[in-house]
Structure 1
Amino acid sequence: MEPDAVAFADTANEVSRITEACHRHNVPIIAFGAGTSVEDQVAAAQGGVCIDLSRMNNLVEIRPQDMLAVVEPGVTRKALNQALRDTGLFFPIDPGADASIGGMAATRASGTNAVRYGTMRDNVLALEVVLANGTIIRTGSRAQKSAAGYDLTGLFVGSEGTLGVITELTVKLYGIPEAVSVAVCPFPSLVQAVDAAIGIKQLGLSVARMELMDTVQMQASNAYSHLSHPLQPCLFFEFHGSPAHIAEQSEIAGSVCKDCGGTEFTAAEQAEERNRLWTARHDAYFAATALRPGAHAWPTDVCVPISQLARCIQETAEDLEKEGILAPICGHVGDGNFHALLLLDPEDADEMARAETVSARLVERAIAMGGTCTGEHGVGLGKMKYMPLEHGPALSAMAALKTALDPKGLLNPGKIIPHDYVVSIL
């Protein structure tokens, strides 16, 4: 699914002129950032013009006293943090890939730090957006909160380019912690590991990262990243704060892990060990694909209330084993989000059908538990079919918003809202 043309924009005014021309001639518009999304958010489902925003990569302003930065959408998260290195501040949202800030807002990205710092939804204060007809609007402000009118900023964050094209963002920044420590703890079972994560969360410990890897993922990561952790489900932790504070928090977390069956809570404070651990976590995708060279990798994610997390992961693991699907599981268990990476032979029709069944049951299971079809990957094309199941009549309200802001249906058409719902509103 390729666009008919690509337009490289350098300014918001250029985006406006391109969008206005497309609107006048009824041509679909697809905004493109770094292309790291996994649910076909930037696929040109109906052709049209792709607006490449990668050249809009200027840091407009950094305001250390206000703890915010104003950036163009093509700025990547690594570039932003590099620019912040002398300010004592950092931008915490870390989806793994070096995604563009604009794309991260459009897909409501999160990542390993979400348990402490939240997601893009929590960290975007204001936006500049080009609407379907080329009109440029600003939403929000540089204030930390507002009670003035509708939350338009929140509406555009997560809209995946279906309501407007983001051309500037004001994002929150945070102080670099005085001290950081990490820890790893293996468990005899997935359920015990998740129970420990729930216990730590319920105690309100100031964990910045709390990640789970199942046995299959640990096998893959040990081999790929040259680690030597036990081949058991493992929790990875990171603690931020003063040295005394993180020592106390780490000790309490270790006690919880021990009570839940954890076999050895190993802490490390050296930067080299921390970087090695989190590099391995970020390389989990590549490690997993190395388990079955040449396989098609199908990533999927769901998010459930933390009370349902152990059950959801366990039932998913059992389902994968029953269907004979190789799929390492890892996730941001601190906020109820986990991923399965299905490794498949695309030439094996039976295996692909079983994978489709497992994926559908995973989503249905999560929604039945009060969760969502996606915690951070977004909807795009891949999860759109589950939107009616998750949202029911509320999906018609979303379709009404889409129609109000994009009456011709030109902005990233065929994404998020199934066509039937848009038609029914019209």
Structure 2
Amino acid sequence: MWKRLLSSTSSRLVTGVVTVASTSFFAYRYGQASSTGQSLLPLGSTAKLSSLKPPQYCPESEIPNIMSKIQQLGISVVNSKPEIDHHTGNDFTTHKPLPNEVPQFIIYPDSTEQVSQALKILNEYKVPVVPFSGGTSLEGHFHSTRRGVVIDTSKLNKILAINDNDLDVVVQAGVNWQDLNQVLEPYGLMFGTDCGHNGLISGMIGTNASGINASRYGAMSANVISVTAVLPDGTIIKTRNRPRKSSAGYNLTNLFVGSEGTLGIVTEAVCKVYPIPKSETVVVVQFPSILDSTNAVAQVFRSGIQPTAIELLDKDMMHCLNYSGYTTRDWLECPTIFFKIGGINETVVKENVNILQQIMQANHANAFVFAQNKQEQEELFSARKNAFYAMINYGKNEIDEDVRIWVTDIAVPLSKLSKVLNEINSLIKASPFQSIILAHAGDGNFHADIFYKHEQRAEVEQLVNKMIELGLQNEGTCTGEHGVGNAKRNFLQLELGSDTIDLMRKIKLAVDPNRILNPDKIFKIDPTDPGEY
């Protein structure tokens, strides 16, 4: 009989050694774990869902025993209610987990080797695993749909090397990008990807995050040189060495970028860093229409200017900023672009600002302001930085104290941006909802964020679906930077088609035949899954 020293209601660390004397558990271990039926890949180049059998996971009742084995290796395991709640969802996602979609235990490894040790055991017993980074994802990425365990990599938070002459860093998975920038600043360097405040490196890799500075520095796919990852069976791999340029074999690095923890757990990464611009200014330009603003952006790129940031806020977002008082200025309530322009010296920056001003005037700009010093830079760009908080403030005070915000994420070619935004505005005007639009205009990525009340959820979801369909009809993508999770699987199918999804599924099965890693995300892995695609 097992000595059960685990309690599902305990708020303390799981401790103790459990002695195995039950033959039934060993029967499960060696009978189920050694079965080869689930490991056989479907014939052909792709894997259709209909060709699969349902995955066979460990009985939930046996998971506490398996956690004891992991804990005996010196790996931290917890199951207090606050920990479970934190790893189940967050306040900002509109896609809440179902009542039974909660993990049973949280595993906190502190090294790549501990991640490997844990996964070897979890894969042996076929325990579903959700990798967890900063917990800021919005599309149901870390829902425990199979009630297994979570591996949280936040304790892997060391900056291992700063190779300033090579312009790269070696960091662990749990490093926060803002903390990294603080360490890099004395070297005159910066990390290019600028996303949500609490974003950690592994989560940013998993969703191919981008953010404000993507216009110049690109998304994570452009900034990750290599990763160290632990595969579902515990195998540790490094995708390549540190050179920026390599033709050595498959590009496995980018196989993990955007994979949302379905193929392996990233524990380390070599990332590009950049010199902090010697000179920089902020330019704010306001326009009579969205079309004028997007035309201006297209001409900026054709001129050869490479702004660090090109952020478009619509008239409703500017109204929220004025209402909130979060900035020191009163803005015209019209489409507004916030530019960051950097260069090697003031002369270069001023030349770019002069060219920029000519382009803006040719596109009917009705206001053009640029910062003369660091204080003015911070003042002007604070409007963009405070946009999300201004939106929340407006919603709670003018709509409902318990107002909710549905944050969308769509990207289209820049030439299609004004058309799509105007059509989305028409959809919103025909609905009972208020919305704001905030766009990373340099790459056609926008967020149409909609205020709604709890009882309006089904109606607002229909509106959001129409918006995404508009993006897809205009050669766009259902997600520019937030990822698919389990909330956008149906749109990924519409965007890429079944054959492409089937190829992704084949890759998943080749790497993770037991389907333990972040199951049910991006696409279906179970033919009995009742959800769409």
Q: Under TM normalisation by the shorter chain, which class is it?
A: over 0.9
Partners of 2:378 and 2:131 in 1: how far apart? 33
Match for residue 333 of structure 2 among 231, 245, 270: 231
- Structure 1 residues 422, 86: closer, same or farther in 2, change over 3 A? farther
CA RMSD of aligned residues (A): 1.5
Match for residue 36 of structure 1 among 136, 139, 158: 136
Partners of 1:368 and 1:193 in 2: how far apart? 22
Structure-1 residue corresponding to 2:57: none
Does the 8 Å CA contact 1:323/1:354 hold for their aligned counterparts? no
Structure-2 residue corresponding to 1:110: 210
Partners of 1:3 and 1:274 in 2: how far apart? 45
What are the Cα deviations for residues 211-241 of structure 1, in whole angstroms up to 9, with x where unaligned?
0000111111233313311111101101010
Structure-2 residue corresponding to 1:187: 287
Structure-1 residue corresponding to 2:273: 173
Does the 8 Å CA contact 2:177/2:191 hold for their aligned counterparts? yes
Give how far 1:335 is off. 0.6
**Matched pairs, number:** 420
Give how far 1:418 is off. 2.4
Match for residue 412 of structure 1 among 518, 525, 532: 518
Task: Please state if 1:255 is matched with 2:358.
Answer: yes
Structure-1 residue corresponding to 2:426: 318
Task: Please state if 1:367 is matched with 2:475.
Answer: no
Structure-1 residue corresponding to 2:74: none
Does the 8 Å CA contact 1:395/1:421 hold for their aligned counterparts? no
Give how far 1:36 is off. 1.3
1:23-422 matched pairs, under 5 angstroms? 23-224=123-324, 225-226=326-327, 227-241=329-343, 242-293=345-396, 294-348=402-456, 352-392=457-497, 393-419=499-525
Query: Secondary structure of 1:415's partner?
Result: coil
Gaps of 5+ in 1: none
Does the 8 Å CA contact 1:312/1:366 hold for their aligned counterparts? yes
Query: Secondary structure of 2:308's partner?
Result: strand
Identity of aligned residues (%): 36
Partners of 2:385 and 2:120 in 1: how far apart? 40
Does the 8 Å CA contact 1:304/1:337 hold for their aligned counterparts? yes
Partners of 2:519 and 2:485 in 1: how far apart? 10
What are the Cα deviations for residues 61-80 of structure 1, in whole angstroms up to 9, with x where unaligned?
11101110000010000111
Counterpart AA for 1:89: L
Does the 8 Å CA contact 1:127/1:139 hold for their aligned counterparts? yes
Does the 8 Å CA contact 2:486/2:523 hold for their aligned counterparts? no
Larger Rg: 2
Does the 8 Å CA contact 1:180/1:269 hold for their aligned counterparts? no
- Structure 1 residues 125, 305: closer, same or farther in 2, change over 3 A? same
What are the Cα deviations for residues 185-224 of structure 1, in whole angstroms up to 9, with x where unaligned?
1111122111211221222212111100001111112333
- Structure 1 residues 18, 179: closer, same or farther in 2, change over 3 A? same
TM-score norm. by structure 1 comes to 0.96
Counterpart AA for 2:515: G
